[in-house]
Amino acid sequence: MTMWHRMIPKLVLGIAAIALVAAAPAGAKVEGDTIIIGSAISFSGKYSTNGIHASNGYNLGVKRINEMGGVTVGGKQYKLEIKYYDDESTPLRTAQLFERLIKQDKIKFLLGPYSSATTKAAAKITEKYKIPMVEAEGASRSLFTQGYKYLFAVLSTSEQYLASSIALAAEIAKKNGRDPSDVKVAMAFENDPFSLDVRAGVIDDINKFNMKIVVDDKLPRDLSDMSATLIKVKALNPDLLLISGHSKGAATAARQIKELQIDVPLIAVTHCEAAKIVDKFGASTNDFLCPTQWAETLSYTGKYFGSAADFDKLFKAEYEGYKNVPYQAAQATAAVLVWKEAFERANSFDTEKLRDSLAETNMQTFYGNIKFDQTGKNIAKPMVLRQIQDGKFNVVAPTKWASHPVNWPRKAQ
Amino acid sequence: MAERGASPLIAVGRWVHGLDPNMRRIVLYGCILAAGISAPFVFEAYTFAIAVLWVMILFALTWDILGGQMGYNSLGNIAFFGIGMYICAIVQIGLYYDVALYTAHDGAVNIHYTPEQYFTGLALGIVAGGLGAMAFAVVFGLIVFGLRGPYFAIGTLGVALAAPELIGAWDYVGGGGGISLPNYPGGPDERSRLFYYLCLIFAFATFGFLKWLYSTRFGLAINAIRDDEEKAEGMGLHTMRYKMIGWSIAAFFLGLSGAVFGNMIGFIEPLEVAFPTVTFGIFMIVMCLMGGKGTLWGPVIGATLFHTIKEVTWAHMLGWQWVALGVLIIVTVVFFQQGIVGWLKNAFPEWYGITVDEAVSAESDADIAARLTRSEAAE
């Protein structure tokens, strides 16, 4: 009898306390003079390196816009602010967190997560609630064939990442009097939507030139070891080695290529800058080919950050430890700029009007031109291929943007 | 202190206490069911989080069949969750499209489902997910039930680690690229509610089924296996059969939950979503330990507490959430080895219908021995 007397009030108080704490974050899309944009990004887990680059990019974009007076909607000045959650690099968490941002935090404007897999999970939720999302880090083509209407991507799609390295290998073969069909290709890709689409793009090009694939491996799920692949590469002597596994994959590749002294005349790796492989592995990364969405040497300019080089300088001043500014950060900043202009063009916080306004985006920025097609992907900006030449990233392809000739064969260090 | 403010509560408490045990049980289940059904309307913004709670309760309950009641600690139960998820997806897509084309990495098919196609696919997919997971449980069971103790745990872990790698290498289902499941052909809140209620129904079904199951001879048999498997075998129990049935039941409900969960998330892939071995796979064990393994209510209470704490730390302690979770797990394992329900049973045995005779329990062992000798002598 007495037990119930004592327990029930405590129990109810406890539950009420928990409910209060849980209910606390309920906010609104626009609070006072602040527009709150939501995002769940990888602060931990295998994509955390790039998740942090991307959030740095978002933050710099927000800071710059706020410094320049913020966003004007309906004649009123608003500041931007981002609410973050950590998706732990898993789409499982992304879906829950986007649901939380939209339903619990009542946020109506979103920035994408890092990686194609998490973006695919996020897009399912944003599409369901018809909440527009500008994303900067999901490149897989499979994002843009689903008929999504509230998804806008500022970056180029993944099949373009390594395609130009195939063309380059063919060109070099011809120059040396060999037939491109003699070129032997070894490749290792992470088993995720992004890298698999990079692979699909590469295979199309390899087939076009009739090249031979001698190694076609998948990287292990935690991306920490690819020595088995590299030992095969050593035995088979391919002319071209392709690797894609986000930052962690790039770091693993650079480390083990050095350790195992892999000597392939042409090596192309995605995410070199983001993985900071030059800082970490020095001269052993010389002559790696690195596809990039953006380069500070390109002649893009825009009204918020000036030229690509100006952005590069500002970013390095703002964040310590960057010898090269990864394109992941630059495109994240660009996504914030897209939101800013969309708010002002729509002159409203109505999500439908904002969606239409986003679709009309046609702007020049330090990151390149941004114009979305029907499916929401940016079609106004090319990708370039850079080579690490004596520790510097120089554009070598496509020819239109090339500032330096390609070093071939790669000097094994 | 709060006596006056809480007096209506005391009145409720008094009323509840005055009821006979059966009536009290009905009131309790009624309250939980009413809370569960009304939640998506009362706490609309939390629908998704509460749906995950039901799935967590289902996880803990199914793990406890083997881990708690039968004494077989499986680390691989999460495999059935993923298998159910994938079977459901294949059925949903395969009924109307070529699965390989649908899952192509460059996104070859533009998908449109009519409501009829969607619901047919979903219903068949969920059933197939449950049954398929059950079939796999029988196959895996033949392999791993030869093992005991830590060998069994590691054997099952092997199953949970191999499954995502196999599916990740299988291009037909998109490999590591995963599958975006068909879009729900209706409004967003309607979709949330549908999956919420499916989670709710499956969690209740699991609980109800296990409550019944544990009250039958089957419950006693698996307890006997836990206490002494050789002796149980010696007493004529066909232990292999019991183990297999226990595991299949767990697999069936996990398969159902996986099928629903995959659709709720909308995008599935093998490494992180379908087979989250180090998150959900471990959580289901922690929840059981926290609530009290080998009890019916322990997993339910453990899952509720765990999920609530997790959601709160994830939202308010960004960057420290895993540390908080680690501390919670360590505290549970060190200080509450019997879990909450186990601790309650010790502290308040009268709640569980165990009568403690203070006079008898105050007697020392020597007194009892002396008394017994006396009574023997008197005979």
pLDDT value of residue B310? 87
B294: distance to nearest CA of chain A, Å? Answer: 24
pLDDT (tens digit, 9 = 90+) per residue, A175-197? Answer: 999 999 999 999 999 988 889 88
With a CB cutoff of 8 Å and minimum separation 6, the contacts of B154 are: B75
| Domain range summary for chain A, segments of one domain joined by + | 30-156+297-371, 160-292+384-397
Asked whether A348 and A354 are in contact (CB, 8 A), the reply is yes
Q: Which one of A7, A8, A204 makes the best mutation probe of the B interface by having the most chain B beta carbons within 10 Å? A: A8
pLDDT value of residue B27? 86
Specify burial of residue B2 (Cβ count, 10 A radius: 0-12, 13-18, 19+).
Answer: exposed
The residue count for chain A: 413
User: Is pLDDT of A7 > 60?
Assistant: no
pLDDT value of residue B366? 62
Q: Which of A12, A103, A147 sits opposite B45 (nearest CB)?
A: A103
B271: distance to nearest CA of chain A, Å? Answer: 7
> Residue holding tokens 């030059």?
A278
- Which chain B residues contact residue A107 at CB under 8 A? none
Instruction: Check A124 against B180: CB less than 8 A apart.
Output: yes
What average pLDDT is seen over chain B?
86
User: Is pLDDT of B5 > 60?
Assistant: no
Strands (E), A286-328: 288-292, 301-302, 306-307
A121: distance to nearest CA of chain B, Å? Answer: 5
Instruction: Check A5 against B10: CB less than 8 A apart.
Output: yes
> Is B165 in the A-facing interface, judged by CB distances under 8 Å?
yes
Task: Pick the range with the lowest mean pLDDT from A210-224, A377-391, B328-342.
Answer: B328-342
Both structure tokens of B156: 């099952």
Instruction: Please name the fold of domain A160-292+384-397.
Output: Rossmann fold (3.40.50)
- Which one, of A246, A301, A295, lies nearest residue A395 by Cα? A295
* Amino acid identity, position B255: G
pLDDT (tens digit, 9 = 90+) per residue, B100-131? Answer: 888 887 766 667 888 999 999 999 999 999 99
B244: distance to nearest CA of chain A, Å? Answer: 30
What is the mean pLDDT of the segment spanning A380-400? 89
pLDDT (tens digit, 9 = 90+) per residue, A50-100? Answer: 999 999 999 999 999 999 999 999 999 999 999 999 888 889 889 989 999
pLDDT value of residue B154? 93
> Is A171 in the B-facing interface, judged by CB distances under 8 Å?
no
Please give the interface size between A and B, counted as residue pairs whose CB atoms are below 8 Å apart. 178
User: Is pLDDT of B189 > 90?
Assistant: no
What is the mean pLDDT of the segment spanning B83-87? 96
- The DSSP H or E segment spanning A269 is strand A266-269
What is the mean pLDDT of the segment spanning B256-283? 91
pLDDT value of residue B339? 87
pLDDT value of residue B224? 94
pLDDT value of residue B127? 96
A25 — pLDDT class (breaks 50, 70, 90):
very low
Asked whether B308 and B356 are in contact (CB, 8 A), the reply is no
- The DSSP H or E segment spanning B267 is strand B267-268
pLDDT value of residue B102? 82
B227: distance to nearest CA of chain A, Å? Answer: 33
> Is A9 in the B-facing interface, judged by CB distances under 8 Å?
yes
What average pLDDT is seen over chain A?
89
Distances (CA, A) of B284 to A92, B48, B53: 16, 19, 12
CA B353 to chain centre: 26
CB within 8 Å of chain A, chain B residues 73-112: 104-112
pLDDT value of residue B350? 76
B375 compared with B35, residue with greater pLDDT: B35
Q: Which one of A124, A148, A198 makes the best mutation probe of the B interface by having the most chain B beta carbons within 10 Å? A: A124
A396: distance to nearest CA of chain B, Å? Answer: 27
pLDDT (tens digit, 9 = 90+) per residue, B11-63? Answer: 777 777 777 778 888 888 889 999 999 998 888 888 888 999 999 999 999 99
User: Is pLDDT of A412 > 50?
Assistant: yes
| β A184-189/A34-41 pair status | unpaired
B163 — pLDDT class (breaks 50, 70, 90):
very high
User: Is pLDDT of B2 > 60?
Assistant: no
What does the alpha-carbon distance between residue B14 and residue B6 come to, in Å, rounded to a whole number? 12
User: Is pLDDT of A170 > 80?
Assistant: yes
User: Is pLDDT of B378 > 70?
Assistant: no
B307 compared with A221, residue with greater pLDDT: B307
What does the alpha-carbon distance between residue A71 and residue B219 come to, in Å, rounded to a whole number? 65
Same fold? A30-156+297-371, A160-292+384-397: yes
pLDDT (tens digit, 9 = 90+) per residue, B269-278? Answer: 898 889 998 8
CB within 8 Å of chain B, chain A residues 189-208: 190-193, 196-197, 199-201
pLDDT value of residue B151? 93
- Which chain A residues contact residue B184 at CB under 8 A? 128
CATH superfamily of A30-156+297-371: Response regulator (3.40.50.2300)
